[in-house]
Structure 1
Amino acid sequence: MKKISLIDIGSNTIRLVLFEYTKEHGIKEIRNIKTPARLAQYIDDDGYMSEEGILALLKILNSFKQISEKYHINKIYPVATAAIRQSENRDDIIERIKSELDLDAVIISGEEEATLGFEAAVHTISYYDAVTIDMGGGSTELTFYEDKEIVYRTSLSFGVVTLNTMFFEGRKHNDKEAIKKTKQFVEKEFNKVNWLRDRKVPILAIGGSARNIARIHQSMISYPIAGVHGYTMGRNSLQDVYKLLKKTDTENLDDIDGLSKDRADIILPSSIVFRTLLDVVGAKEFKFSRKGLREGMAMRLFSQEYPVAFNKYRVFEDSIEQLANDFNLDPTDTEKRTEIVDRLYHELERLDIITLSRTNKMIMKHAAGIYYLGDFIDRDASSQHTYYLISNSNINGIGHRDRVRLALIASYKNKTLLDFYAKETGWFNDEELDEIQSLGSLVKFANALNISNTEIVDNLQLSKQDGDFRLNIQYNGDPIAEEYHSVRQKKHIEKILGGDLWIEFTES
């Protein structure tokens, strides 16, 4: 296990994140603490950060250093972005951090900040092509990538705090003239980025302002599951949030569920930026990534010691493997169950009984791997715990709808419970639920064929004769437990087959 402390010194907030890395569990947050700083407001007309701002910064860093030391973490990495980067006295600020706190703060360039955000996004989101935006308090970073390789990157010298200062200072948060000028300014700035227009790829939004927009929309529609990572909004949804913010009086902003009090005065400018970018890019999807600069920097630091720790082409697979490890699932059991369900599916496909899309087949196999992980909490309520844990877990590389599909299959016990869980979201029609039930049945039956966790099944073959089906299972070992449980569960497979199933165990 390796631990580090990362301090993100932004223009709007300063955040401490304590990370640990293990091969089995990947990167985990031990602690995540933020405090509003608004450092950008301490920079005067000549571009110098005032003594008041420097003292506020030093006080926060000292507190974060003490917290890190209480967790016995000595490797502390303060990373400074726009506010200090744009300060004329940045070298003096870095020197004072070193002399007064003995911390080695690093100022990263806007392009480097964009790259770190990109790295975090491609390692946690499955899109192979996208535009990323990381909007902070004092700058906005943009990238365009194809096949998970960065093509363009740039940093624009405005953020939510600077927009607020430029156009809304002394005005209400929804002042019409300020909104008009902000729109004109943002569109002009985006048009200067000659590689940005009409890319027609999804947008991945990083940072606190983006997450806040997502949380507001989730509250507006009573979103049924947790988390904003991987949450997707279209143009109409962004427009709905914008309209809500615009029509709400300043004194009533606190009544908007999901809106952080720290961002109440700067949320409307960020909404304008995101809507404008959607139009410039010609994107249909606006997806949110909870991972950004901090995670990108953490991956870079951990990779120095573990060079093959992160694979951007195995995002979903690695996330499932780490989830299985988090709940202490036996790897030999999960591998065997996955192997059996794959063979069952291929036999059904060979007889033209069932055919799946590539995505749904992948989801079925991974559901087999984490089947009934809720046993970790309570075996008597394993199905319930499994569904709610998976549907509300942050699983990288998969959208929320497919995450719920995964949860429904991995928790499958019977149709009654399936319908009960599915009713929570209401995302699937009858045809889709029938398919989910079939896949859940296959996973449940595969589990029955390795119920003793002794890996006795070597091979299996399904045949059809006179409307009935026969499943020949070749085994090596003692199949007594598997014989009993497979007969108990065969009714689930018979529903898929539309006929009687005879099970025959044959010694290899």
Structure 2
Amino acid sequence: MAKRTAVIDIGSNSARMVVYERTSRYGFYLLNETRSRVRISEGAYEKKGYLQPAAIERACRALSQFLSIAKSYKSRKILCIATSAVRDAPNRKAFIKRVEKELGLKIKVIDGQKEAYLGGLAAANLLPISDAVTVDIGGGSTDLALIRDKKVVAVHSMNLGTVRLKELFFDKKKPIEAAEAYIEEALSTLPESFKNGTAVGIGGTARAITKAIMQRDDYTVEKIHAFRFSASDEMKFLKKIANASVLKLSKYGIKKDRLDTIRPGALILMKVLEKISAKEVISSGAGVREGLFLSDLLRGSNHLFPANFDPSVRSLMDRFCTDTRLAANIASTASTLFEALSTPFDLPEALLKHLQVAAKLSRIGIRLDFYGYHRHSAYMVLNDLDYGFMHEDMILIATLIRFNKRRLPKNSFTKPYKKLLPDPDVLSWLSYIVSLAQAIHASNSYGTIKANYKKGVLSIEAPFDTYLAAERIKELEKPGSIAVKLTTS
């Protein structure tokens, strides 16, 4: 597979391009994202689906710029797909031929089933979910994928889209009941198997509504991907958006570029959540583009990452870890210490993975600055640990990393994230374990330790000289009454 791959998605509302760079077999990161609001579907639904000249011209100009950007990054592979508006257009062949002739770009038009599958594939691999229904509301269609045990087992596509409903109902000022009836008729084709307590929101409508909820609640994490909200709690909010006048939408936190399509989008989302009996919604920053990239990256592994593989952790390690063997040793030592201390101090087994990831990534900030590496490492995790973790996971890992030198977590740092973090006592012990694991390997020595806790004493046996380690351990702030006995085997 090419080291750098550009993926272009020509949607009904926007055209987007992402450029990914591979860092290892399965490791990758986003190098560039470019968006153009080409509105390829503008005027089409009122004119029997025909793409209009002005929309075609906008699309061609945007695609030309996309290719220039991809070339500047030396992208070896360019994947380009078009969805609902183009596949429904009687003049799509003329559009596709023009793009290929003028720009040398081949466009693959995918059907709704494929579109649904790619969205589901992205969610299954890049969110910590096993079972869910993905809901991708686009400009021309709404596509659903049923995920069971992290596999996409069924897909369904409907001609329900924000631009489609806007032009058919909202622009003509028809009663909202008419739009609701149209949606409900389309939803009547949805198989009964598409029932799930967890819905994954994909696409511009889901992102816009998520941003509005986060803004309203003064949410402390500035990241849409993996944000979770209650479906029942937000039904009234969705209804307000669907029924609001365009002038009042900004009052609800809707951004300018979504003012004309968010009302039909909110109405579709509301009806779909009711239909599938969703109890919670998880927002996804990944969708069709990521799914297309992953279908290429994972073509030899049944479109799934290996078990227990975290792509964001791998990418950070590939790019910023100065010594992967030492990082693995620190993580192993942290696990051994956790096993010794978990029972006496009531540390939840479910948090062991967070501890391991924090220990493994604790030194990645050294690439930026040695003296403040713990701060840099935490910042990098807060901003780049995108895939495979919920917000509470990411915040916990970042907090453990931020305080992995001498001090325990401070209230001034943790207060904004209080609702996302575990009990303060648990947090302190986890932080101490990461700091202790780092201290044990102060001489950058490798080896497997042994640990045992008894009557207030944590006995640690290491297969290397622990002179420097003993000094570092004495400097650590402790979360409770505990003595550390360190010996060399």
Q: Aligned partners of 1:144, 1:462: CA distance in 2, in Å?
A: 46
In the TM superposition, residue 339 of structure 1 has moved relative to its aligned partner by: 1.2
Q: 1:415 touches 1:437 (CA, 8 Å); kept in 2? A: no
State the SS of the aligned residue for 2:145.
Answer: strand
Q: Which residue of 2 aligns with 1:174?
A: none
Q: Which residue of 1 aligns with 2:329?
A: 336
State the SS of the aligned residue for 1:103.
Answer: coil
The answer to whether residue 468 in structure 2 is matched with residue 481 in structure 1 is yes
Deviates more, 1:60-69 or 1:5-14: 60-69
**Change in 2 beyond 3 A, CA 1:281/1:344:** same
In the TM superposition, residue 135 of structure 1 has moved relative to its aligned partner by: 1.2
Q: Aligned partners of 2:61, 2:484: CA distance in 1, in Å?
A: 73
Q: 2:118 touches 2:291 (CA, 8 Å); kept in 1? A: yes
The answer to whether residue 214 in structure 2 is matched with residue 226 in structure 1 is no
Q: How does 1:24-173 map to 2 (within 5 A)?
A: 26-43=27-44, 45-73=47-75, 75-171=77-173
Q: Aligned partners of 2:246, 2:48: CA distance in 1, in Å?
A: 31
Q: Which residue of 1 aligns with 2:246?
A: 250
Q: How does 1:383-402 map to 2 (within 5 A)?
A: 383-402=374-393
In the TM superposition, residue 244 of structure 1 has moved relative to its aligned partner by: 5.1
Q: Which residue of 1 aligns with 2:281?
A: 286
Q: 1:47 touches 1:87 (CA, 8 Å); kept in 2? A: yes
State the SS of the aligned residue for 1:19.
Answer: strand
**Change in 2 beyond 3 A, CA 1:52/1:487:** closer
In the TM superposition, residue 162 of structure 1 has moved relative to its aligned partner by: 0.3
Q: Which residue of 1 aligns with 2:318?
A: 325
Superposed CA deviations along residues 331-390 of structure 1, whole A, max 9, x for unmatched, are: 1121111111111122224xx413443421111111111125444434444444343432
In the TM superposition, residue 45 of structure 1 has moved relative to its aligned partner by: 3.1
**Change in 2 beyond 3 A, CA 1:247/1:139:** closer
Q: 1:217 touches 1:237 (CA, 8 Å); kept in 2? A: no
* Aligned-residue CA RMSD (Å): 2.6
In the TM superposition, residue 417 of structure 1 has moved relative to its aligned partner by: 4.2
Q: Aligned partners of 1:61, 1:286: CA distance in 2, in Å?
A: 33
Q: Which residue of 2 aligns with 1:19?
A: 20
Match of 2:439 among 426, 434, 448: 448
Match of 2:185 among 178, 188, 200: 188
Match of 1:435 among 426, 432, 436: 426
Q: How does the TM-score come out when normalised to structure 1?
A: 0.88
Q: Aligned partners of 2:215, 2:162: CA distance in 1, in Å?
A: 22
Q: Aligned partners of 2:274, 2:99: CA distance in 1, in Å?
A: 42
In the TM superposition, residue 434 of structure 1 has moved relative to its aligned partner by: 0.8
In the TM superposition, residue 40 of structure 1 has moved relative to its aligned partner by: 1.7
Q: Which residue of 2 aligns with 1:359?
A: 350
Q: Aligned partners of 1:134, 1:208: CA distance in 2, in Å?
A: 9
Q: Aligned partners of 2:417, 2:460: CA distance in 1, in Å?
A: 39
Q: 1:81 touches 1:113 (CA, 8 Å); kept in 2? A: yes
Instruction: Write the letter of the residue equivalent to 2:10.
Output: I
Instruction: Write the letter of the residue equivalent to 2:471.
Output: Y
Q: Which residue of 2 aligns with 1:201?
A: 197
In the TM superposition, residue 271 of structure 1 has moved relative to its aligned partner by: 1.2
Percent of paired sites with the same residue: 24
Instruction: Write the letter of the residue equivalent to 1:280.
Output: K
Q: Which residue of 2 aligns with 1:505?
A: 487
Instruction: Write the letter of the residue equivalent to 1:340.
Output: T
Unpaired runs of at least 5, structure 2: none
Match of 1:370 among 361, 376, 381: 361
State the SS of the aligned residue for 1:217.
Answer: helix
In the TM superposition, residue 217 of structure 1 has moved relative to its aligned partner by: 0.9
Q: Aligned partners of 2:308, 2:448: CA distance in 1, in Å?
A: 30
Match of 2:206 among 198, 204, 210: 210
Q: Aligned partners of 2:298, 2:456: CA distance in 1, in Å?
A: 56
Q: 1:441 touches 1:492 (CA, 8 Å); kept in 2? A: yes
Q: Aligned partners of 2:48, 2:330: CA distance in 1, in Å?
A: 66
Q: Aligned partners of 1:403, 1:393: CA distance in 2, in Å?
A: 9
Q: Aligned partners of 1:325, 1:309: CA distance in 2, in Å?
A: 24
**Change in 2 beyond 3 A, CA 1:435/1:147:** same
Q: Which residue of 1 aligns with 2:6?
A: 5
Q: Which residue of 1 aligns with 2:395?
A: 404
Q: 1:196 touches 1:280 (CA, 8 Å); kept in 2? A: no
State the SS of the aligned residue for 1:100.
Answer: helix
Q: Aligned partners of 1:470, 1:73: CA distance in 2, in Å?
A: 53
**Change in 2 beyond 3 A, CA 1:183/1:196:** farther
Q: 2:321 touches 2:363 (CA, 8 Å); kept in 1? A: no
Q: 1:135 touches 1:141 (CA, 8 Å); kept in 2? A: yes
Q: Aligned partners of 1:79, 1:245: CA distance in 2, in Å?
A: 31
Superposed CA deviations along residues 412-431 of structure 1, whole A, max 9, x for unmatched, are: 256664322110122158x7
Superposed CA deviations along residues 214-248 of structure 1, whole A, max 9, x for unmatched, are: 11111111111121111111124433542553575
Superposed CA deviations along residues 228-284 of structure 1, whole A, max 9, x for unmatched, are: 111111124433542553575423434554x33221111111111222222111111
Superposed CA deviations along residues 82-132 of structure 1, whole A, max 9, x for unmatched, are: 111001122222222222222211111111111111111111012111111
Unpaired runs of at least 5, structure 1: 172-176
In the TM superposition, residue 59 of structure 1 has moved relative to its aligned partner by: 2.4
Q: Aligned partners of 1:356, 1:127: CA distance in 2, in Å?
A: 24
Q: 1:337 touches 1:369 (CA, 8 Å); kept in 2? A: yes
